[in-house]
Amino acid sequence: MPSVNPLPSPVTLGVIANPVSARDIRRVVAHAGNLQVTERVNIVLRLLQGARAAGVTHALLMPDRGGIRALLERHLGRQHAYRHEGTDDQRLPAIEFLDFDPTSTVDDTYAATRLMLQRGVGAIVVLGGDGTHRAVVRELVAAGSRVPLAGLSTGTNNAFPEMREPTITGMAAALVAAGRVDATLALAPNKLVEVNITSARGRQCRDIAIVDAVVTHDRTVGARALWKPQSLAAAYLAYAEPGAIGLSSIGGLLQPVGRHERGGLAVQIAHNGAPALTTLHAPIAPGLVLPVPLAGWQRMAADEPLPVLLRAGTVALDGERELAFDEGDHVTATLREHAFLTVDVARCMATAAHEGLLRAAPIP
């Protein structure tokens, strides 16, 4: 089987495919799906074929131990043989896997994003849920990068990535990466919630959520995914759409805030029988609709820190507990607007149609 050959820099398109998204505890307590590795490989192949048709010649992929690389290389070996026999006309970009040893943790996504930025990718396509997309955005923001990402939903809760045919997403991302469409037409700015924890000794910790930062009464990280309403204390939402699944649906069914609308929403959740202004039945995970008692809510204005009132607990970022804080720590949540860029697939493809970018050259 031929190996995947390294490519000269710069690489045009980056692809980060999480082989283990949608495998947390919510698959046990609810009815979340579990996308098999073979289907993830099919998604990668479709997006790459779309990208190649739109002009991308090189793609840089994240390595993994979950089977995506192995199955993809097997396909490339078959394609190489078919091409010699003249039976395969499906073209792919030249593919290179990043050179690092994967750990099957989120650190792979962090490392892949950093390396892709160093290699000068024009866009990054992400396969995963909210957590995988957050990990990519975290590295983009830390680097001060304006490289856009295009999301494909393969996780448990998917409030952020779109449900869209991968071929089309690959074409749109390729048009952006190749500079064939005006960035002002093809890209969309996005909000995030920044969480800051200052300890009693002055140590600071900062992290982000691209959909929701949720404060819980739990004192340890434990099982990272959230699914029990009685553990929730507050939710700080970059946006809240009525049709979303996950914890942001609490705000979406209470006081919707659009993805590209100014401002966010902060929600306080009643605990231990405390008086509630209202109770919402929210779809906090696929197939899991539970009552959530609400003590109050308010809009979040950009760049105005809101103090977290709970004295000790954890903060879940986009559905997974990440940060613990104790009594004496000062915790704030701040909405940041225009924090990172995504490919607006619909507008990008409309621009391509209007400008004839995908028309074949006339036969001489």
Q: What is the CATH number of the domain that holds 59?
A: 3.40.50.10330
Q: Is residue 216 part of a domain?
A: yes
Which residue in the block uniquely carries the two structure tokens 């024009």?
Answer: 122
Q: What are phi and psi of 173, to 5 degrees?
A: -60, -35
Both 265 and 156 in one domain: the answer is: no
Q: Is residue 349 part of a domain?
A: no
Q: In what order do the strands lie in the sheet with 232-237?
A: 278-285, 288-300, 264-269, 232-237, 212-216, 313-317, 320-325
Both 36 and 158 in one domain: the answer is: yes
Query: CB–CB of 40/75 below 8 Å?
Result: no
Both 207 and 112 in one domain: the answer is: no
* DSSP letter (8 states) at residue 104: S
CATH number at residue 202: 2.60.200
Both 120 and 225 in one domain: the answer is: no
Q: Is residue 344 part of a domain?
A: no
Q: Tell me which amino acid residue 155 is.
A: G
* DSSP letter (8 states) at residue 92: -
Residues in contact with 321: Cβ distance below 8 Å, sequence separation at least 6, in sequence order: 216, 218, 221, 222, 223, 224, 225, 226, 314, 315
Q: Is residue 64 part of a domain?
A: yes
β partners of residue 208: 194
Both 95 and 171 in one domain: the answer is: yes
Q: Which of 286, 238, 324, 242 is nearest to 129 (CA)?
A: 286
Q: Is residue 353 part of a domain?
A: no
Q: Is residue 361 part of a domain?
A: no
Q: Return the pLDDT at 14.
A: 97
* DSSP letter (8 states) at residue 339: E
Residues in contact with 23: Cβ distance below 8 Å, sequence separation at least 6, in sequence order: 34, 156
Q: Tell me which amino acid residue 349 is.
A: M
Residues in contact with 54: Cβ distance below 8 Å, sequence separation at least 6, in sequence order: 170, 171, 172, 174, 175, 178, 180, 352, 357, 358
Q: Is residue 332 part of a domain?
A: yes
Q: What are phi and psi of 192, to 5 degrees?
A: -150, 165
Both 233 and 205 in one domain: the answer is: yes
Both 44 and 116 in one domain: the answer is: yes
Q: Return the pLDDT at 362.
A: 56
Q: Is residue 205 part of a domain?
A: yes
Task: For residue 317, give its domain range.
Answer: 191-339
Both 128 and 172 in one domain: the answer is: yes
Q: What are phi and psi of 17, to 5 degrees?
A: -115, 115
Q: Which stretches does DSSP call E strand in the chain?
A: 13-17, 58-61, 94-97, 123-128, 149-153, 187-198, 204-209, 212-216, 232-237, 264-269, 278-285, 288-300, 306-307, 313-317, 320-325, 330-343
Report the number of distinct structural domains present in the chain: 2
Q: Return the pLDDT at 26.
A: 44
Say how far apart CA 331 and CA 155 lie, in whole Å: 29
Q: Return the pLDDT at 158.
A: 78
Both 17 and 52 in one domain: the answer is: yes
Say how far apart CA 210 and CA 159 lie, in whole Å: 10
Q: Tell me which amino acid residue 68 is.
A: I
Domain boundary among 180, 213, 244: 180
Angle at which helices 345-355 and 166-177 cross, to 10°: 70
Domain boundary among 180, 205, 223: 180
Q: Return the pLDDT at 274.
A: 84
Domain boundary among 149, 180, 211: 180
- Phi-psi category of 84—alpha, beta or left, where left has phi over 0 and alpha has psi -120 to 50? alpha
Each of the 364 residues of the chain gets a pLDDT tens digit; together they read 333 444 444 448 999 999 876 444 444 444 455 678 999 999 999 999 999 999 999 999 999 999 999 999 998 887 655 554 544 446 899 999 999 999 999 999 999 999 999 999 999 999 999 999 999 999 999 999 999 999 999 876 678 998 899 999 999 999 999 999 999 999 999 999 999 999 988 899 999 999 999 999 988 765 555 667 889 999 999 999 999 989 999 999 999 999 999 999 999 999 887 889 999 999 998 889 999 999 999 999 999 999 999 999 999 999 887 899 999 999 999 999 999 999 999 999 999 999 999 987 655 4
Going by their DSSP bridges, the two strands 187-198 and 204-209 should be labelled as: antiparallel
Containing H/E element for 51?
A: helix 37-53
Both 222 and 329 in one domain: the answer is: yes
Both 149 and 205 in one domain: the answer is: no
Both 287 and 259 in one domain: the answer is: yes
